[in-house]
Amino acid sequence: MKLSRRQFIGTATAAFATPALIGRAIAATGGRDLPIPDVLDLRGGGGAPTLEAMAARTKILEGAESVTVGYGQGFLGPVIRMNRGETARLNLGNRIKEAVTVHWHGMHIDGAQDGGPHSPVETGGVLEAALDIDQPAATLWYHSHIHQRTGIQVYYGLAGMLIIDDPDAPDSGLPQTYGVDDIPLVVQDRVFDRGGQMLYAPQGPTLMMGYRGSEILVNGAIRPKASVPAGMVRLRILNGSNARIYHFAFEDGRRFHQVASDGGLLPVPVAMNSLTLAPAERVEIVVDFSAGATRLLSAPDSNMGMMGGGMMGGMMRGASPEAVADGGVFEVMSFAVDNSRTAAVTTLAKTLAGAPTPEFGAPVRRRRFALNMGMGMGMMRGGGAMAINGESMDMAVINEELRLGEAEIWEVSADMMAHPFHVHGTSFQVLSRNGRKVDYATTGLKDVVLVEGTAELLVQVNRKADANQPFMFHCHILEHEDLGMMGQFTVA
């Protein structure tokens, strides 16, 4: 059931004003079948389909409908597929009562194509997008990026996964049957009030530390169940949460292999038993389900900085998902083996053909970025004390000027807590964390890095951006971004 633009904004505003109604009067029952998102296939050229931001009422909790927004559907958006070497075309429309954008997160495109805060689609408007795709195959995503409204718009559903394919790349040997052994997982946390309405009401510590939810959604469903073949399955995982950091592991402790990160495949599969994923990061893992059914769990998010103890720490933990094991470990989703499905891959290759190799020049300069969190009641009330290098985001100010194709070292330092740092328009290499060298084979190319202390990044931007439509760099805790922990840069 679709809502009018006025109804969406009015209902959402009413929800913001009722934080006391948080609770579980309507049960958040998990276990429904994992929804597999539809695919909007832009490969091979052809016409330009329309993708519209729209409002709806969506059934997420049993027995209730919540106001949501989505791209082309009621909540979230389809998985968009594009080919390297092609120009992907689509028309971006807007049927809600405020401006939106579509930011192509992780894409190597010009600033004029990037979909940042300077490219709004006003109510009733349509923007013609032509995206020139030239980067390795990777799992990316797209989301709205309106200045000071990104948190609420993404929270209510303006986000989706995007997959770039490279038809000329050699076969990696990875599973690739979409929805069967190659499965997209958009993981988010949400708060619902006692009537089943999704609630976004950051204030006080939830504004300072980022807004976290007590219910875990995967592809828009609460703790769903995926049916998988008894063999190797590729999971493309996006942390689409506003602030929560996940520490994933399987309930039975089984080992899995990471095969890709933000910017594409890793050189070789990396074996692990657990995985940390910060907001906006993507990872691809391959799991062997010949060992049978299991649950994907997460340890709690402890990224509370100086607020982690005492009364405020307790307030933050009040939005924690229900624990299923000691230490606050909670369920994300479950997996059941379906023997009627055939696993196309039974053995993982030792190396991953087609993995990108870093192609950076020698760095010619060093820049330093300090991610600053102010304190005091002004920031508690959303007074804008978040900043980078002491400057809060100003749409009229260009903070940095880069030269096209020149490599630089960016030294990023985090204040008070860990911050996921994102750079538009490129992928970078993480050189070190807190002075310790990082092995490229374990991280691959990135566009988001979780900074706890300091990190050194090798950055080279090969696409142009002018002062009218610059690129952004920012913390991807969306409340921090909206409060000013963001800057702008040009490339010429």
The predicted-structure confidence for 249-307, as pLDDT tens digits, reads as follows: 999 999 999 999 999 999 999 999 999 999 999 999 999 999 999 999 999 999 986 55
pLDDT band, residue 81 (cuts 50/70/90): very high
DSSP3 helix / strand / coil % (the chain, rounded to 5): 10, 40, 45
Residue 240 has pLDDT above 90, yes or no: yes
Give per-residue pLDDT as tens, 354-369.
999 999 999 999 999 9
CB 241 within 8 A of CB 187: yes
- Cα–chain-centroid distance for residue 412? 20
Render 367-408 in DSSP notation, one character per residue: EEEEEEE--SHHHHTT---EEETTB---TT---EEE-TT-EE
Give the max Cα distance, the chain: 59
Q: What are phi and psi of 282, to 5 degrees?
A: -120, 155
Q: In this predicted model, what pLDDT tens digit does every residue of 394-426 receive, in sequence order? A: 999 999 999 999 999 999 999 899 999 999 999
Pairwise CA distance, residues 222 & 225, whole Å: 9
Say whether 8 sits in a helix, a strand or coil. helix
- φ, ψ of residue 390 in degrees (nearest 5): 80, 0
